[in-house]
Amino acid sequence: MVTSWILNSLSKDIVDSVEYVFDSLELWSELKDRYDQTNGAKLYHIQKEINDLSQGSLDITSYYTKMKKLWEELSNLCVKNQCSCLCTCGAKDTMHKVEQDRRPIQFLMGLNEAYTIIRDSILMMKPLPSMGQAFALLIQEEKQREFKPNNHFFADSPSICASSSTRQSRHIGGHSGGRGFHTNYTQNTGGRGTRPFCEHCKRLGHTKDKCYKLHGYPDKPSSSPGPNNNNT
């Protein structure tokens, strides 16, 4: 009966090679010697996938699921390296903690640069959080990022309105003949608002009550007496 169970669980190609083995212990021993060996190529392939895996276009949940699947597959291949005896020195717990700390670090290494701040915050925690705790923090950060674009738009709305008002003011001052408004705009945006400004000649450095173009230029001093001195 046991032999039949083993044979029915094998693929046809393998069954053909052991179909004449009728003792279940002999059958099991032969299969164990043939296939129960450390698969170095498989270990290399899985470890390389873990090292090369990055988030890319995946969300946090999909990225974690893909990484965890590789971790579990690697653990199944290394099951013989796990100690099952009773440990009293604490070395077994220490090795288990080292293995558990390695996983969040591998996971954080593959995150996109957008999660740099939260990644640095997790790495600075003491003790280092478990993979489940790190995953929960990253999920919260991902949810917050879904609302940031809208908040960013509303936060910038006052500046957008101010920019629009400035452009509208320029348009009114330049095309509607509003000299007073255009004059104030020139004075304010020129970075020289503290200097006197003439409303008549539109120049800085003096006021309207002292404008030469409005009140006349002062007489030039004469260098020699003559009848036409005042017209010089």
**Distance between CA 53 and CA 68 in Å, rounded?**
11
How far apart are alpha carbons 158 and 166 in whole angstroms? 12
Res 149: pLDDT: 56
Give the integer Cα–Cα distance in Å for 58 and 158: 35
User: In this predicted structure, what is the pLDDT of residue 26?
Assistant: 86
On whether residue 200 sits in a domain, the answer given is no
The token duo for 12 is 């046809």
pLDDT in tens, 152-188: 444 444 444 444 455 554 544 444 444 444 444 344 4
Interval 212-230: pLDDT, tens: 777 777 776 655 555 544 4
pTM score of the predicted model: 0.48
User: How large a percentage of the chain has pLDDT more than 70?
Assistant: 70
Contact by Cβ (8 Å): 34, 42: no
The whole domain housing 144 covers 59-81+90-167
30 occurs within a structural domain: no
Burial class from Cβ neighbours inside 10 Å (0-12, 13-18, 19+) for residue 55 reads buried
Q: Does residue 42 contact residue 77 with C-beta atoms inside 8 Å? A: yes
The amino acid at residue 169 is: S
Q: Is residue 35 part of a domain?
A: no
Give the span between the Cα atoms of 201 and 214, in whole angstroms.
8
Smallest CA-to-CA distance from 136 within 149, 116, 122, 151 is with 122
128 assigned to some structural domain: yes
Q: What's the pLDDT score for residue 55?
A: 93
Helices 91-109, 131-175: axis angle to 10 degrees equals 20
| 174 found inside a domain | no
Number of domains in the chain: 1
The pLDDT value recorded for residue 108 is 93
Report CA torsion sign: 147, 148, 153, 155: positive
Domain membership of residue 54 (yes or no) is: no
| Phi–psi pair at 204, nearest 5 degrees | -90, 155
Q: Is residue 136 in some structural domain?
A: yes
Residue 231 falls within a domain, yes or no? no
Position 73 confidence tier, pLDDT thresholds 50, 70, 90: confident
Q: What is the dihedral of CA 45, 51, 53, 54, to 10 degrees?
A: -170
Q: What is the mean pLDDT of the chain?
A: 75
134, with CB counted inside 10 A (0-12, 13-18, 19+), is: buried
